[in-house]
Structure 1
């Protein structure tokens, strides 16, 4: 009798597991079908490709920016001959500094206007270039863009192209070495940069905020370090077997991850602190900066593999909660809460990178969710972004989270490229379920 009862319990248990698995499989297929049948996504991708016929950051910009090109290069390869896209990548290597640094943006030298300190190179005399020196993502962005280019085209020959007597693969490592030499904190074993808002490129104090100056406060943040590790991962994935690196980049990436966990991640709050200051903070001691959620850097950290599944779910919950705090916000809200105007006079609250809503980075969080299997969350959180893009019939730089009004360039290629790639990732997952 006792053995029969045990058998009955086991049978019912197995039936429950089988039924649950069947229901889960059914729900997964329904979700996949809803993605494949969502024709709004076709519209977004079609509009994105029609915009990606150019290389500047947007139609209101004169420059080609590497941090933007990195996020729309896959879409560009659908509408341009690969040689055109390759030539844009090679231009950044032609403008590379002697120390290995990479510029932010390039513009036709005849259109170079006052403001920036321009760099000129004999290898590309028709171009003028500039670098926002407060940031530390230009080198990482170029290496990531090369990886995306080769992933789409399989053109590994790009790595052997010679520019000024150096192969591109060598120049890629030079870019990585520049970070170790010029933007490195030996004290913490992490990448440093000037103090900005999350992934932004503007310092707090009034004035020309994109250049390092006497007001600059050096600090460490999650965005710069995640982007650098992503670049190292891409460099190692592309590196030919015959190329012998000058550093153990795999070990460097592992050490950065360990140091990020030690110095920037807080287990108690399950979030990254905004900054680890090296020479004092630009903010008074009374300001509780650590309560601010950095969404863009957190998304890049997840993409770099810094977080566990449980932490990813919690980071996402915090982003959804932050978005719910404002009437028109999505998970693209840059930071929350924003920095007060008196502490960040160069960018007031809810303006631009100070709690403006950017699909450019919200889309990257969606990509991070998809890459880690959070498909239902990805679909749910992408929906208001899709609705907003269709409503305003354009790819705007950012949105006001209080009014919902679109701001900045109405033809921002970074947003178009991120949405194009995100939809491709969703559809790739959905097709696999069929």
Structure 2
């Protein structure tokens, strides 16, 4: 071999080695940055403290809500005895309807006061000390409870819970009754998917009423990604907990997943459409609702395994672009662009208000978890940082944030605390494993 050729070979080998070392250094740098970020552990400690003080959604609420409890039960397992977690789950089953439906939340019966225009409380002799309520515009209470039971079993290994009888019916059968309620009462034959009222992404406020949490004759029924993705996750969880029922529910799971992508996924735009209407849209015909991108429902769809890695990356890129264009602070942005002024009778649903473009870590944190699980650790950390930083700045876990990042709602929102704790832990553990 000629001398010049040998030199060239050695130079190339050196460059290759250098590039490999640089790549390794970048991986190490990310791990080092995450390990050195003291704010991550500070937020985890504060989250644990907040969740250790109770189970209601936050200081602004009396109720224990199942959609919230589902997102902080992992953390609650680190702060409360197993029996306490179990008792809360049991109350939801005690208040279960004869048709299998699950309530949204419950309060001590002694705290219920007669009021006009408030909740129509639900009572059951199995829960003599509690009153429940159900926002009927939603289709996620049943799926949230099944997911919460799955998390409880993972955290405590208390498999005996499945055989616990609530009344005369074991928990495992009550969960199946909840799934059957959705198929019997919220299933649309034409599209093969679950329906609910028209709401903004994962929200619980319909446009046709000043409050908007109950189905009425004016409701516009629709199919959306959030409800069906939650159902898919619940089916996966149920079949894992009760494998002998898989033969019945696996074909239903496959059917729902196939129909979700066939009817709700816009492949050209690489997004889910907001709604598939069953009896017309409540919005002005000149308004292009399909231009709206649902951040929360997309995150849950990823958790349900509906999107591949390329589609997840495209989804993240779109979320980041939406944050930049809207002027919001994080990918917890509910949706973008927003519904116009006056689209919802509820005054809190103004553009960039509450669920109409408010910034919710409650869902943004779930997107972070999925980014980590699908190998986007760098992107996960980048998008997690502003969520963590505002907890430190505001000294609290707030329900949602305005477009200019001002906190709104309860400052002890346990749903936010729970998903942030899980997101941070997921990232830290994955980085440690990769090292």
Band of TM-score, shorter chain: over 0.9
1:56 match: 56
Distance in 2 between the 1:16 and 1:230 partners?
47
Mark the CA change 1:432 to 1:202 in structure 2 (over 3 Å): closer, same or farther: same
How do residues 316-395 of structure 1 correspond to structure 2 at under 5 angstroms? 316-346=316-346, 347-395=349-397
Alignment partner of 1:179 is 2:178: no
Distance in 2 between the 1:258 and 1:135 partners?
22
How many residues matched? 428
Alignment partner of 1:432 is 2:433: yes
* Shift, 1:90, TM fit: 1.0
Mark the CA change 1:324 to 1:244 in structure 2 (over 3 Å): closer, same or farther: closer
1:404 match: 405
* Shift, 1:405, TM fit: 1.5
Distance in 2 between the 1:24 and 1:172 partners?
48
221, 229, 237: which one pairs with 2:240?
237
Q: 1:79 aligns to what SS in structure 2?
A: coil
Distance in 2 between the 1:106 and 1:77 partners?
20
Distance in 1 between the 2:275 and 2:17 partners?
48
Alignment partner of 1:221 is 2:246: no
How do residues 4-403 of structure 1 correspond to structure 2 at under 5 angstroms? 20-53=19-52, 54-113=54-113, 114=115, 115-240=118-243, 243-244=244-245, 248-346=248-346, 347-401=349-403, 403=404
Deviations 1:95-140 (A, max 9, x none): 1111111100100111124310111111110000000000000001
- Is the Cα contact below 8 Å between 2:210 and 2:345 reproduced in 1? no
* Shift, 1:256, TM fit: 1.4
Q: 1:78 aligns to what SS in structure 2?
A: coil
Moved over 6 A (4+): 7-18
Instruction: Structure 2 unaligned segments of length 5 or more: list them.
Output: none
- Is the Cα contact below 8 Å between 2:137 and 2:196 reproduced in 1? yes
Q: 1:418 aligns to what SS in structure 2?
A: helix
* Shift, 1:24, TM fit: 3.0
Distance in 2 between the 1:268 and 1:14 partners?
44
Mark the CA change 1:170 to 1:25 in structure 2 (over 3 Å): closer, same or farther: farther
Distance in 2 between the 1:317 and 1:277 partners?
28
Q: 2:173 aligns to what SS in structure 1?
A: helix
Distance in 2 between the 1:18 and 1:233 partners?
45
Distance in 2 between the 1:140 and 1:121 partners?
21
Mark the CA change 1:10 to 1:101 in structure 2 (over 3 Å): closer, same or farther: farther
- Is the Cα contact below 8 Å between 1:330 and 1:384 reproduced in 2? yes
- Is the Cα contact below 8 Å between 1:367 and 1:422 reproduced in 2? yes
Normalising by structure 1, what TM-score?
Answer: 0.94
Instruction: Structure 1 unaligned segments of length 5 or more: list them.
Output: none
Normalising by structure 2, what TM-score?
Answer: 0.94
Aligned CA-pair RMSD: 2.1
Q: 1:325 aligns to what SS in structure 2?
A: helix
Distance in 1 between the 2:288 and 2:200 partners?
15
Deviations 1:266-296 (A, max 9, x none): 1111111000001111112221000001000
Mark the CA change 1:12 to 1:294 in structure 2 (over 3 Å): closer, same or farther: farther
Mark the CA change 1:12 to 1:406 in structure 2 (over 3 Å): closer, same or farther: same
Q: 2:280 aligns to what SS in structure 1?
A: coil
- Is the Cα contact below 8 Å between 2:239 and 2:245 reproduced in 1? no
- Is the Cα contact below 8 Å between 2:294 and 2:335 reproduced in 1? yes
Distance in 1 between the 2:232 and 2:185 partners?
16
* Shift, 1:29, TM fit: 2.2
Mark the CA change 1:43 to 1:343 in structure 2 (over 3 Å): closer, same or farther: same
Mark the CA change 1:102 to 1:15 in structure 2 (over 3 Å): closer, same or farther: farther
- Is the Cα contact below 8 Å between 2:326 and 2:336 reproduced in 1? no
Mark the CA change 1:425 to 1:280 in structure 2 (over 3 Å): closer, same or farther: same
Mark the CA change 1:66 to 1:9 in structure 2 (over 3 Å): closer, same or farther: farther
